Amino acid sequence: MPRITKVPRFTRTVISTAALLPLLIGAQSFSHATAASPAPSFYTPVTPTRICDTRPGNPSGLAGGAAQCNGHTLVANQAMPVQVTGLAGIPSSATAVALNVTALDASESGYLSVYPAASSPPDTSTLIFHPGAPSVNFTEVGLANGALDLYANAAVDVILDVEGYFSASGAGFTPITPTRICDTRPGNPSGLAGGAAQCNGSPIAPFSSRQVQVAGLAGVPSSATAIVANVTTAGDRGPGFLTVYTSGSPPMASDINWLFRNEWGFVRTGS
């Protein structure tokens, strides 16, 4: 299951999960501070924040502007606007946003598209969904007047977790050779050593968190402000979710959701 997320600052990344599972993290790149540019193409991470949950009964406990989707399950073939700027620290100057998108409680199989507001639905989909299991994906989508649209060809509930935004200032991007920096599985199957062995043999217990050191590993310098990483769950022992974030209490957002043993997830995360 593909998943992506981003969070502010990252000397250490904190992992929280609702089920016991082994975990693998591979760093692929990092972001660094850069001067403002007139081109609106720089990224600023924010604390993962839920700004839309269409499910009835407000299970996410959203209030204020973030309650905009409460109880508004997507109707097939009807676009629904979602305001983004002004929420979760997203300024009016933002031209695009990074989102974790979850589709669930689908009435039938279908697709979901997320795209700039007040425009026609694109020919491409953000994710494919099926009844009985959540479908999750990461997307970076442009904004129109600070908003985006949701469109599905079948009735479905949608959750949006904001991870960051793009504007004329923010962080630059430096790719590195993909490198594994954490594998919680027993027996060290990845053959990690040194700082990268920090997670060896330590599956994450349900409703617990773990710090993972990033700076100083895989060529990521202490000056880095964010990373891009693939996060994989394996051998989970029941339904659950995984959240990757900076520090403090886990945010109301998830990066990977799973229902069955050995369902895979990949997360790009900036912290």
The reported pTM is 0.69
Distances (CA, A) of 165 to 81, 95, 105, 190: 18, 7, 28, 34
Per the DSSP assignment, residues forming a β-bridge with 31 are 173, 226
Check residue 24 and give its pLDDT.
Answer: 56
Check residue 41 and give its pLDDT.
Answer: 66
Backbone angles phi, psi at 198, to 5 degrees: -60, -25
Query: The dihedral of CA 94, 100, 106, 108: what is its sign?
Result: positive
Domains and CATH numbers, the chain: 12-34+170-258 (no CATH), 42-167 (2.60.120)
Please choose, from the candidates 138, 81, 85, 91, the residue with its C-alpha nearest in 3D space to the C-alpha of residue 115: 81
Instruction: List per-residue pLDDT tens for the chain, 271 residues long.
Output: 434 444 333 334 444 444 444 455 555 445 544 443 334 468 888 888 999 999 999 999 999 999 999 999 999 999 999 999 999 999 999 999 999 999 999 989 999 999 999 999 988 889 999 998 888 888 889 999 999 999 999 999 999 999 889 998 877 777 777 788 999 989 999 999 999 999 999 888 888 888 899 889 988 888 887 777 777 777 777 777 787 887 777 777 777 777 643 333 333 344 4
Three-state DSSP at 64 gives: helix
Check residue 266 and give its pLDDT.
Answer: 33
Residue 240 is classified by DSSP as E
Backbone angles phi, psi at 227, to 5 degrees: -135, 160
Check residue 16 and give its pLDDT.
Answer: 42
Check residue 262 and give its pLDDT.
Answer: 36
CA distance 132 to 94: 35
